[in-house]
Amino acid sequence: MYPIYEQGKRQGIGYSFDSFIRRFTEICKEKSSTGGKKAFALILYNFRDQAIRKVLKSQGGFALLDRLSGDKLSIFYLDSSNEEHYKSFNQKFIEVFSIQDYISPPLVLFFKTQDGNFEEISIIKLEESDIKFAFHELHELIRSQVENLNNNISKSDTNWNWIHIINIITKMTVGAVIDYLVTKVLDTSTKKY
């Protein structure tokens, strides 16, 4: 799992959005260059989604989810104390994956890369607002996805309300997505995440 976080006033000790984009690019290229399909997840949630924030902030919750995802699934999420950062971060990824007409955060966006292209894009809406149930929801969702990856299954099991986005960005390459996100970073270069 890869948190993008900050501490203090505009003094990031983690990734700023532009350093996150660079690292995200490196990971996508690194994973794609080793051959085969590589799986990623992006957890998008709002400042007010306290249960999800607490799950991801807690050392135990993070460690369990990180261990569960292992090397099969690279998971990214924002950890910030600024509501505007969440709005901006979410908006950029919702736009680049063209999902604004389908669903809004909190959600988990799953996708795979192969030969520099995005494939098998799917989204699950996160519903739980209690921390215990939110952890269970995220845990089971990631467990299910990793199990499907281990068994080389493209579609999820029927226990999840999947929304499959088909043919929206089938021709969009990883490079095109990165270019788009970098352009968005330049538009807001004074903001740090």
| CATH code of domain 2-187 | 3.40.30
Q: What is the pLDDT at residue 134?
A: 92
- What pTM value is reported for the model? 0.78
Q: What is the pLDDT at residue 130?
A: 93
Identify the burial level of 10 via C-beta atoms within 10 angstroms of its C-beta, where 0-12 means exposed, 13-18 middle and 19 or more buried: exposed
Residues 105/46, Cβ–Cβ less than 8 Å:
yes
3-state helix, strand, coil in the chain (%, to 5): 45, 20, 35
Rounded to an integer, the average pLDDT of 125-136 is: 91
Residues 64/139, Cβ–Cβ less than 8 Å:
yes
Residue 191 has pLDDT above 70, yes or no: no
Helix (H) or strand (E) holding 187: helix 174-187
Residue 37 φ then ψ, to 5°: -85, 140
Q: Where are the domains of the chain?
A: 2-187
Rounded to an integer, the average pLDDT of 97-124 is: 80
Q: What is the pLDDT at residue 37?
A: 66
Helices (H), 38-158: 50-57, 59-69, 83-96, 131-150
Residue 188 has pLDDT above 70, yes or no: no
Rounded to an integer, the average pLDDT of 100-122 is: 80
Average pLDDT of the chain to the nearest whole number = 75
Neighbours of 129 (CB within 10 A): 13
Q: pLDDT grade, residue 138 (50/70/90)?
A: very high
Q: pLDDT grade, residue 11 (50/70/90)?
A: very low
Is the alpha carbon torsion for 89, 35, 70, 126 positive or negative?
positive
Angle at CA 115, nearest 5°, toward 109 and 118? 20
Q: pLDDT grade, residue 92 (50/70/90)?
A: confident
Rounded-to-integer distance, Cα 191 and Cα 18, Å? 10
